[in-house]
Each structure stands twice: as C-alpha cells, then as structure tokens.
Amino acid sequence: MGLTVAAATLLPLIYLLVRASGAGSEGWRYFLRPRVWQVFWNSITLAAITTTASVLIGVPLAWITSRSDVPGRRFWSMAAILPLAIPSYIAAYAYKALLAPRGMAARALEPFGMERMPELSGLFGAALVITLINFPFVVLNVRAALRRMDPSLEEAARGLGCSPLAYFRRVLLPNLRPSIAAGSLLVALYTLSDFGTPALMRFNSFTRVIYTQYKSSFDRSTAALMALMLVAITVVVLFGETLTRGQATFHRSGGGSPRPAAPVALGRWRWPAFGFCALVAGLSLATPILVIVYWAAQGAAQAGGIQLAPQLVVNSIKTATLAGAGGVVAALPVAFLAVRYRGRAVTLVDRATYLSNALPGIVVALALVFFGARWLGWFYQTLVLLVFAYVIRFLPQAIGALRTSLLQVPPRLEEAARSLGRGRLAAFASVTVPLIVPGMAAGMALVFLTTIKELPLTLILSPPGFETLVTEVWSAAAEGLFAQASVPALVLIVVSAFSVVLILNQERRLRVTYGNRRRG
C-alpha cells in the first residue's frame, strides 16, 4: 500500500523524463541555444543573490532576537518568522501595487510632481521580494543552533583568554556554520522553485519560462526539457542540503537540559539593533500587509464596493478539503510503515515522497499535465486530477504530522492491549487511533492550508472556468487590478499564517518526542 503511494508520487516525474527524452535530437540541440543558458544564468544569479541577502539579514537577526537585550525581543523574534506566512506571489503583488506606475507610491507622490515611479521588476524586484519572505529560513535554523549551544562554551572561551570578537570568530561562527548552510540552501531551493514572484516581476527564471512555453507553444517538449534542467539544479541543491544536514549536529558534551544563556547587553548598540529589527519587519511584514489593506480600502470606497464571489471561497475550501482528506488517507500507510518497520524499501518509499515535495510546483504541475493527458484522459482537466496533484505534492506534510503522533504510540502499547484481551483490530482502534487522531487532524489541516494558497498547480491543472481565491489574486494582480486582488490576498495571508504556526508547532513537538525517547 505504501509502495502504491510512493509509486504514485514518482510516476509523473518518471513520465516527464520519458517525455523529454522523446523530444529527440532536435530537442537536445535546444540545450545549446544561448537563450536557454540565459535562463539558466538568470535562475542561478537570482538564487545566489537571495541566498546571500538572506544570510546577511538572517544571521544578525537570529542573534539579536535570541541572545541580546534588544527592546521588544519577543515581538521581534515572532516578527522574524512571520514573513514565511506571506505567499510569495502575494508579496510580489503587494510590492508591485506599491511601486507600479499608477501604484500607491505614485499616487502619493503625484502632488510633488513625480508622476512616474521607477517600476519594480526584473532581477531586482524578484530578488527583493524573495529575500524578504525567505530570510526567516536562515533565522529559524541559526536560532535553533544558538539555542542548542551550551552557554558554558562562551564562558570557557572567555576564560581561556578569548576577546568577544575572537569568540565570535573562533567559536560561534564555526558552530553556526552548518545551520547557516542549511538555512541558505532552503532559501536557494525556494528561490529556484518559486513561480509567483518571477512571473509577476517578469523575470525570466526557469519557472516563468517553463510556464510561458507551456502556455504559448504547442510543442510542450521544450517546456519538459527546461523542467528537467530545473529538476537537475534542484537535485544538486537538495543533495547539498542533505550533506550539510548530516553534519549539522554538533552535540553538546554532557547531559542535562541546556542552561538558558543570559542575554548579552548591547550597550549603545541597543537602538541600532532595534532599528535593524524594525526595518526588516517593516519591509517584510508591514509594507505588504499595509499595501494590501490600503487597496482593499480603496476598493471598498469605489462604487460597487469589493466583491468577493462566494463561489471562489467555496471552490477553494472544496479542493483543499478533498486534498487534506486524501493526503491523510494516502499518508497513513506510508507513515505507519516508516515508523514501525525499518528497512531499505521503507526508507526508499519515505524518500520518494519527499523528493516529489522538493520538486518545484511548476514541474509537478507540468508532469501531471503530460501524464494526465496521456494516461488519465478521463480525469484530465477535472477536479480529480487537481486534487490528485495537491495530494502528491503535499503528502510529505501529512506524513510528517502523522509520523510525529505515531512515534508517540510505541508498538508495546498495542501489545499491552493484545495481552489484555483485545484482538488486532480492536487494539488498533482502542489504543492507536485515539492517540493519532490529533496527528491526523494536524496533517489534514496542514495540507488544507497549503493547498488553499498553492499557485502553480492550481493555475495549470484547474479545470477550465474553475476559479479559486488563488486564481483570482493571480489574474487580478497580473492585470494590475490591485484592489480586486486585495481581499482574497488578505484571506490567503491569514490562512497561510495558520499553516506556518502549525508547522512550527509540529516541529517543536517532534523535537520533544525525540528528546523523550532518547531520555527513556
């Protein structure tokens, strides 16, 4: 059963390979065109810029919000994570709405004779937006590493005659390096796979070019070839990520829970640090949200007011609910196998589902278009295929949630129930199920929330005429109808914030679980 699920998640990718290789020699010559390499170069440059910028913002922010006495530390440490909750295409839309030729800033500056604002687009626009919503990956990783570090390390170093600067260079930085690497690779991965921002900023990265190729030309093989190139880069990055993750555990020597470190007094750097936090939060959180609220108010003031067609909401909820339920049902056997039975086949199944999650959404969408049109003719351009796509894309989240709760149900509990007179099924129903219901609910909620804001899959695989909150934001933003996009965008931000809170919560619980198991 788990194998079936794994096969289902990998099939589209395999089919994409087949399809691309079917492009023939002409297709392969395509790789030699300068345009292709231009796109390749664009994507790499974008990823390099966003990653570097995220590290430069994220590392100091992580340190300030976890180890210093900056005013309002708790608030900033929340604010440093929350940008993750803004879907990238919504942030891009907000920045466009702020700086577009007839946008918000232009209107505000009109009385001063500035009629045209420099338009935010291209590499700079894409890099700015992606950095502003992805730097929290660096913050999260580095902060976790800082918390794991034993404060007596610092005391030991200082006791051995290290100056604060030498401590930073010789102790802190080497200890943080793995977490910085892990965080930046995540940023790079998301940059490569992000479709919304480059598309709205009209920057020719792989994702945008793949989409336009798919939309405009009849020969979809070239889109498939590009998608494969993108997959190749993604796999390289992924490989790097797993490599660093393997090394990323510097163990504290000695047991016991770590002593909380006393915050470092910043002295006269206190207010500059405060300013830095405020600037980052202002750009990454306040600006996009205020812009969208502004446009929503504008829309409300207009004749006719804001219209949010109820059908959009119904459609979004319907697909997301189906995907959530389907995701949990498909995840149950995989999670169960992965937790209860260790073995090579099981690990493979587990990895397969994760690989498909790491693939850019646009690639999965494209693969499913090919696969669906060829093999699932009946379902092509129906809700079934769309929901299937959501399920295989977000399956790992459901598996993660289920796994967390399954780990808390050791097989001995079922054995205990058996020895107390319950049959196999009765034991499962009376012991295991009540214990994993929260995990199932969490998994379903997660898939629901991520599905509802997913852009590329919805865009490409929705049946004709089927509109959701996402497609509404997308088409309105692409056409510059900022007011029209604002209300669904706000709804999506709220939904997305919930999903981020859920994911962070689940990660914490997983850590706690593992901690207990190690102690027991």
Partner 1 sequence: MKKIGIQCRSLNKRFGAINAVDSVSFDLEQGQTLSLLGPSGCGKTTLLRLIAGFEQPDSGTIAVRDRTVVDICARTGNRGGRIVPPDQRRIGFVFQDYALFPHLNVRDNIGFGVRGRVARRKRVDEMLELVGLPDQGASMPHELSGGQQQRVALARALAPDPDVVLLDEPFSNLDATRRRQVRKELDRILREAGTTSIFVTHDQEEAFNVGTRVAVMSEGRILKMGAPRDVYLSPASREVAEISGAVNLVAGESDGECVRCGLGELRLAQPCPAGNVQLLLRPESIRLEDIADERSGANGSAHLNLSLQASAAVSLRAGSGSIATSGAGPIRGQIQSIDFHGNHQHASVQLPCGERLRVRIGPSQHFETGQNVRVHVEEPVQGLPH
Contact residues: partner 1, CB under 8 A? 408, 410, 412-413, 415-424, 426-427, 430-431, 434-435, 520
DSSP per residue over 49-62, as a string? HHHHHHHHHHHHHH
386 vs 388: CA distance, rounded Å: 5
Shortest gap between Cβ of 492 and partner 1 (angstroms)? 35
| Closest to partner 1 by CB, 147 or 517 | 517
Q: How many C-beta atoms lie closer than 10 Å to residue 17's C-beta?
A: 14
Shortest gap between Cβ of 448 and partner 1 (angstroms)? 25
| Closest to partner 1 by CB, 188 or 417 | 417
420-438 burial, b for 16+ CB within 10 Å, e for fewer? eebeeeebeeebbeeebee
For residue 396, how many C-alpha atoms fall within 13 Å in the half-sphere facing its CB?
15
Shortest gap between Cβ of 260 and partner 1 (angstroms)? 24
| Closest to partner 1 by CB, 246 or 421 | 421
Shortest gap between Cβ of 514 and partner 1 (angstroms)? 16
393 vs 324: CA distance, rounded Å: 11
Task: List CB contacts of 383: < 8 A, sequence separation 6 or more.
Answer: 319, 322, 463, 466
205-238 burial, b for 16+ CB within 10 Å, e for fewer? bbbbbbbebbeeeeebbbbbbbbbbbbebbeebb
382 vs 419: CA distance, rounded Å: 49
Shortest gap between Cβ of 424 and partner 1 (angstroms)? 8
CA angle 89, 92, 95 (to 5 degrees): 155
| Closest to partner 1 by CB, 173 or 435 | 435
Shortest gap between Cβ of 426 and partner 1 (angstroms)? 8
Structural tokens at position 267: 């002295």
| Closest to partner 1 by CB, 118 or 421 | 421
59-86 burial, b for 16+ CB within 10 Å, e for fewer? bbbbbbbbbbebeebeebbebbbbbbbb
Shortest gap between Cβ of 406 and partner 1 (angstroms)? 13
Shortest gap between Cβ of 256 and partner 1 (angstroms)? 17
| Closest to partner 1 by CB, 410 or 480 | 410
102 vs 381: CA distance, rounded Å: 37
| Closest to partner 1 by CB, 249 or 419 | 419
Q: Measuring CA to CA, how many Å separate 416 from each of 142, 402, 429, 437?
A: 42, 22, 13, 20
| Closest to partner 1 by CB, 202 or 422 | 422
| Closest to partner 1 by CB, 240 or 410 | 410
Length of the chain: 520
CA angle 12, 18, 24 (to 5 degrees): 145
| Closest to partner 1 by CB, 343 or 463 | 343
| Closest to partner 1 by CB, 417 or 476 | 417
Shortest gap between Cβ of 422 and partner 1 (angstroms)? 5
| Closest to partner 1 by CB, 317 or 413 | 413
Shortest gap between Cβ of 348 and partner 1 (angstroms)? 21
Shortest gap between Cβ of 435 and partner 1 (angstroms)? 6
CA angle 494, 496, 500 (to 5 degrees): 120
Shortest gap between Cβ of 254 and partner 1 (angstroms)? 20
Q: Which long-range contacts link 322-326 to residues 24+ away (Cβ below 8 Å)? A: 322/383, 322/387, 322/390, 323/387, 323/390, 323/391, 323/394, 323/447, 323/448, 323/451, 324/398, 324/443, 324/444, 324/445, 324/446, 324/447, 324/448, 324/451, 325/444, 326/387, 326/388, 326/390, 326/391
